Amino acid sequence: MLILEAIIDGIRDIKDHFGRTLLQLLGIILGAGSIVATFSLSVAGKEASMKYYRVSGGIERIWIGNKPTGKVTLDAKALASQGLTYADAMALRSESKEIDLVSPVSQGQMDVGYEKLTKRRDVMGVTPAYSPISFFHVDRGRFITDTDLATAARVVVLGTTRATEFFGSDDPIGKTMTIDGAGYLVVGVMQEKYFSFDQKHNALRWMNRQMYIPITTMMTRKGEPLKQGKISFMHARMKDVARHKEAVAEIERILFRQHGVKDFDVFSRVANLKRNESEGKMYDVTFMICGLISLLVGGIVIMNIQLASFNERVREIGTRKAVGATPAQIFFQMLTESVLVSVFGGVIGIFVGRLFTQGISALTRNPAIITTGVIINALVFAAGTGLVFGMYPAIRASRLNPIEALRTE
């Protein structure tokens, strides 16, 4: 009942001194708005990164590539190493206990033609594991199979862009196209792959532009022995994301034994995600501090105006205490006024923060998401500001001597 009376008295005082209340609101509104904008952009960025990983292979995927020659000490072992090979992929698949799929890739540009149209396009030699490890599946027909690998079959699977480029609206399944002068049977067309960070550009459009043939066929065409056949890079899928460090260490250990030198790089998506989160936290803290500074300024304004209000109402407060008001009632009334102003400012700040968020999002072309957690954070910080900075004026009012107050002119 005491708190309810304090809230009613606080609302009445805010209405009676609305101009003064507006001055108190300004800093709180800007501070809460800054917090809303900061957390909204941060949450959206993290969500976009996770969604990108979910549609392009998940965070369990590990990328393994050749290290640039300039970063390798060229001793005898380094000179003897041929870089990543198909044999390395087979060694990982048979010996690793931390990964369950390995997808070696050999890529290069080739002359691709159908009927009168011939263009130089990227072609990727892959294994059947490429589809599940990349979350990239066929829409029509089938993907590369183990039989295709074993027989070095001349079959090709097209991304949607390449299917449209060479066949238009016709169904390419069962038709034959030429790759570097040899005929390849089209056995599949992949699903359309799409993901956009800014709702304008497809970050995965490169996947729709690919053409896939068996990696053994690619190496045969290049005249390379299968075991020594060079690959451009490979992907591996770890069994347990929580053991990503152990998975990376195991891969490096097997490849180092194969090569005798560390002429390769291994990147875990989990590690990359953690690194991005660490960098993101730095920006979150920086912008949150800016918002808290605004709230600090707003809190100082609230305290000063509450002190001015107290000085104006000394006789009123003294009269209330003289007729029976307890120090607790006076304290809660003054404190409630500052908290109500702060919460009201926080509510307005949420809408202002939404405008900030939309403006920043439009300028940077980055998405923004205002979640329930963001709104709660803004209101908690705003209410906390009113609580902390309203404490001193409330304590002074509760300790006021009614006799001295009534003598005040």
Chain segment 77-120, per-residue pLDDT in tens: 555 567 899 999 999 999 999 999 999 999 989 999 998 899 99
Q: Are residues 126 and 212 in contact, defined by beta-carbon separation less than 8 angstroms?
A: yes
pLDDT score of 10: 56
Name the residue type at position 112: V
Q: Give percent above pLDDT 70 in the chain.
A: 84
CA angle centred on 295, ends 293 and 301, rounded to 5°: 110
Classify each residue of 91-121 as buried b or exposed e, where b means 16 or more C-beta atoms within 10 Å of its C-beta. bbbeebebbbbbbbbbbeebebbbeeeeeeb
Report the range out of 5-14, 144-153, 192-201, 265-274 with the highest average pLDDT.
144-153
Cα-to-chain-centroid distance, residue 54: 11
Name the residue type at position 155: V
Q: Which two tokens stand for residue 243?
A: 């053991």
Same domain, 158 and 252: yes
How confident is the prediction for the chain on average, in pLDDT?
Answer: 82
Same domain, 81 and 223: yes
Same domain, 46 and 79: no
Domain C-terminal end among 262, 285, 311? 262
pLDDT score of 7: 59
DSSP string covering 258-287: HHSS--EEEEEHHHHHHHHHHHHHHHHHHH
Domain count, the chain: 2
CA-to-CA distance for 215 and 264, rounded, in angstroms? 20
Domain C-terminal end among 237, 262, 287? 262
φ/ψ bin of 301: left (φ > 0), alpha (ψ from -120 to 50), beta (otherwise): alpha
More confident residue, 141 or 24: 141
Split at pLDDT 50, 70, 90, the class of 260 is confident
Same domain, 290 and 187: no
Same domain, 257 and 292: no
CA-to-CA distance for 120 and 181, rounded, in angstroms? 12
Same domain, 386 and 280: yes
Split at pLDDT 50, 70, 90, the class of 176 is very high
Taking the whole predicted model, whether its pTM rises above 0.75 is answered as: no
Cα-to-chain-centroid distance, residue 307: 45
* Run of H or E including 385: helix 372-389
Domain C-terminal end among 229, 262, 295? 262
Same domain, 48 and 182: no
Q: Which long-range contacts (CB under 8 A, 24 or more apart) does 95-98 make?
A: 95/254, 96/236, 96/247, 96/250, 96/251, 96/254, 97/250, 98/238, 98/239, 98/240, 98/243, 98/246, 98/247, 98/250, 98/251
Q: pLDDT tens for residues 215-241? A: 999 988 877 777 778 899 999 999 988
Same domain, 287 and 343: yes
Same domain, 258 and 306: no
Same domain, 82 and 218: yes
What sign for the dihedral angle of Cα 395, 399, 402, 403?
Answer: negative
Q: Are residues 120 and 111 in contact, defined by beta-carbon separation less than 8 angstroms?
A: yes
Classify residue 62: in a domain, yes or no.
no
CA-to-CA distance for 140 and 137, rounded, in angstroms? 9
Which structural domain, as residue segments, surrounds residue 378?
Answer: 2-53+275-407
Same domain, 38 and 182: no
Same domain, 252 and 168: yes
Classify residue 76: in a domain, yes or no.
yes
Phi and psi (nearest 5°) for 203? -70, -15
